[in-house]
């Protein structure tokens, strides 16, 4: 008689300790996929840190309130830019979009749409703010100063920012400026780096006069600073230099009588006053006394009239 067949079950697997669960690859895959496809992620606002080296530090309270109201009703329509935190996993550093991030936190939004840009640099951060006109002149000046302290040259900084070197020079005038010029900037009477640069140069020559003028001036523009420069420097002998760099053969005395109005022009981003008392050596040219003290003969067609001031 045959013995009945019995099934033998291998139960040894039950004695093994269950392996630890592997990290969920879905979250990481979702980030990678979104980056590849160029789609914004929904990132918890609590996981995003603002860049401590963010050049923009000034935020208008009124405009922030308006942004908060818009985000409260409609959400964030334009994603911010982020990059992975260098030392903390699952955290991010904000590239740009500080106003949107702050407003989202203020109105209690749990997440914010964001693009990941791992190659972002501080120069790109400044350029983005410059293009949006969100960066204040002094904030740009502080960024330039920090880069110079790191050993970079003005020409290199200008090239990386995509601006003229004169713009870099002008903004540096906002660093450690005289008290009277600093008060003009902080009060909002003048935020033009070029105008304040010209005014600071004038202050080096006539500190008391410039300080007195700053305390009573109702309007501070390139035109009014140019007129002040002409008034303070007054008539003096100067050698006229043509736009080609050729020096005139004779010295001319600038006329002290000024019954004509002052014609303020802009030539190659430089502000100056046309000397209507002197005849230019070349046809279709003007003699312009610039705010930096130089007097040059320049093509009239390249000059833009900025203001006419009647004495």
Segments making up each domain of the chain, as ranges: 25-121+128-134, 235-311
Q: For residue 32, which phi and psi values (nearest 5 degrees)?
A: -60, -45
Considering the segment(s) 235-311 as one domain, its CATH architecture is: Roll (2.30)
Residue 250: predicted pLDDT: 44
Segment 142-196, tens digit of pLDDT: 888 888 888 888 888 888 888 888 888 888 888 888 999 989 988 888 888 889 9
Asked if the domains at 25-121+128-134 and 235-311 fall in one CATH topology, the answer is no
CATH code of 25-121+128-134, in short, is 3.90.1530.10
Lowest-confidence range among 6-10, 40-44, 85-89, 137-141? Answer: 6-10
Output the pTM of the full model. Answer: 0.45
Segment 259-284, tens digit of pLDDT: 567 788 888 878 888 888 777 788 88
Segment 69-108, tens digit of pLDDT: 888 888 888 888 888 888 888 899 888 788 888 899 999 9
Higher pLDDT, 60 or 288: 288
């Amino acid at each position: 008689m045959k013995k009945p067949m019995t099934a033998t079950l291998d139960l040894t697997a039950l004695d093994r300790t269950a392996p630890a669960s592997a990290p969920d690859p879905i979250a990481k895959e979702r980030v990678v996929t979104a980056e590849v496809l160029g789609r914004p992620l929904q990132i918890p606002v609590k996981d995003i840190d603002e860049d401590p080296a963010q050049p923009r530090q000034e935020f208008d309270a009124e405009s922030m309130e308006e942004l908060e109201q818009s985000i409260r009703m409609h959400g964030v329509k334009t994603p911010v830019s982020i990059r992975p935190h260098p030392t903390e996993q699952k955290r991010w550093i904000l590239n740009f979009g500080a106003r949107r991030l702050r407003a989202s936190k203020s109105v209690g939004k749990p997440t914010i749409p964001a693009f990941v840009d791992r190659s972002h640099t501080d120069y790109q951060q400044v350029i983005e703010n410059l293009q949006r006109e969100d960066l204040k002149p002094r904030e740009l000046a502080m960024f330039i100063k920090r880069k110079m302290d790191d050993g970079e040259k003005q020409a290199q900084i200008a090239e990386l920012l995509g601006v003229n070197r004169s713009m870099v020079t002008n903004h540096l005038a906002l660093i450690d400026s005289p008290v009277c010029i600093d008060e003009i900037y902080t009060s909002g009477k003048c935020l033009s780096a070029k105008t304040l640069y010209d005014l600071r140069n004038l202050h080096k020559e006539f500190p008391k006069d410039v300080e007195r003028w700053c305390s009573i001036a109702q309007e501070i523009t390139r035109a009014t600073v140019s007129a002040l420069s002409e008034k303070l420097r007054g008539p003096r002998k100067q050698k006229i230099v043509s736009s080609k760099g050729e020096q005139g053969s004779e010295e001319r005395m600038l006329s002290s009588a000024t019954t004509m109005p002052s014609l303020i022009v802009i030539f190659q981003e430089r502000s100056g006053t046309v000397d209507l008392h002197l005849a230019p050596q070349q046809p279709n040219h003007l003699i312009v006394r610039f705010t930096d003290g130089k007097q040059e003969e320049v093509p009239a067609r390249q000059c833009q009239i900025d203001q006419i001031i009647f004495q």
